[in-house]
């Protein structure tokens, strides 16, 4: 069964969503992330994908106080990313209550450091965050587009032992236009052994079912939950 992972994007300690990664297209959905997290928990969900957009933009985690508050106030298993640049950052995120650290930009710039962290903490504790724009890997909170093809990048890291990744197509994220099914189908067919988590564009239960049918292991859902095109009560068939 596909794992449902609600998303919580943070700017200034508030729950927001961006459209296609554009910081100028920000919408605040909740002033209190803990209350939002409690609603996810009450619906039977066990995971939370927390993105520190301030950290992604500045290069250092900036919402650890929110992480700590949500981790101590719920039983959700939180994966946290945004601005992770050093082992001290990794330790700080774990200390604040996350069970998984998401690493994106550093995995591109310093792949050996990223692989060393997987070796030290375990592949279940360090999760590859691979963002793509126009088929190329994007970093720095989606603000920098590299020349590396996303599929080739994933192949390279899987060959070195990476087994899990979530992939966000920036063109789909927050656009409510449907997930990038063709991209995910290509990744699953081309990158053997990867446990793929889809992220971006999910707007309905039908989208979730299609992602499950092509082999995605998980799906991150953001705007659809906040805009209520997917209601939490509708997710019960995926829980438990």
Decide: helix, strand or coil at residue 198.
Answer: strand
CA 120 from chain center: how many Å? Answer: 22
Segment 148-159 mean pLDDT: 95
Instruction: Say what the pLDDT of residue 59 is.
Output: 86
Counted residue by residue, the chain has a size of: 240
Instruction: Say what the pLDDT of residue 56 is.
Output: 84
Mean pLDDT of the chain: 92
How far apart CA 146 and CA 175 sit, in angstroms, is 22
Is the pLDDT assigned to residue 140 strictly greater than 90? no
How far apart CA 201 and CA 192 sit, in angstroms, is 24
Decide: helix, strand or coil at residue 228.
Answer: coil
Instruction: Say what the pLDDT of residue 21 is.
Output: 63
Point out the residues that are catalytic: 9, 131
Segment 42-64 mean pLDDT: 93
Q: Which helix (H) or strand (E) holds 9?
A: strand 3-11
Residue 210 half-sphere exposure toward CB, CA atoms < 13 A: 15
Is the pLDDT assigned to residue 19 strictly greater than 90? no
CATH code, 3-233: 3.20.20.70
- The more confident residue out of 185 and 58 is 185
Is the pLDDT assigned to residue 130 strictly greater than 90? yes
Instruction: Say what the pLDDT of residue 218 is.
Output: 98
User: For the chain, how big is the Rg over CA atoms in Å?
Assistant: 16
CB atoms near residue 5 (< 10 Å): 22
Segment 88-109 mean pLDDT: 96
């Amino acid at each position: 069964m596909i794992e449902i992972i609600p998303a919580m994007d943070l700017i200034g300690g508030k729950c927001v969503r961006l459209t296609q990664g554009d910081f100028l297209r920000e919408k605040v959905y909740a002033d209190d992330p803990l209350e939002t997290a409690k609603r996810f928990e009450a619906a039977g969900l066990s995971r939370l994908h927390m993105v520190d957009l301030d950290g992604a933009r500045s290069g250092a985690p900036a919402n650890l106080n929110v992480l700590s508050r949500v981790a101590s106030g719920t039983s959700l298993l939180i994966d946290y990313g945004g601005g992770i640049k050093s082992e001290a950052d990794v330790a700080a995120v774990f200390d604040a209550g996350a069970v998984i650290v998401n690493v994106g930009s550093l995995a591109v710039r310093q792949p050996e450091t990223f692989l060393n962290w997987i070796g030290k903490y375990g592949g279940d504790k360090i999760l590859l965050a691979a963002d793509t724009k126009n088929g190329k890997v994007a970093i720095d909170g989606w603000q920098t587009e590299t020349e590396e093809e996303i599929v080739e990048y994933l192949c390279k890291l899987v060959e070195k032992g990476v087994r899990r990744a979530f992939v966000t197509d920036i063109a789909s994220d927050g656009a409510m236009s449907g997930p990038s099914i063709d991209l995910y189908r290509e990744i699953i067919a081309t990158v053997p052994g990867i446990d793929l988590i889809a992220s971006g564009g999910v707007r309905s239960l039908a989208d979730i079912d299609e992602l499950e049918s092509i082999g995605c292991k998980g799906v991150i859902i953001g705007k659809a939950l906040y805009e209520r095109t997917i209601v939490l009560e509708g997710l019960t068939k995926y829980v438990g």
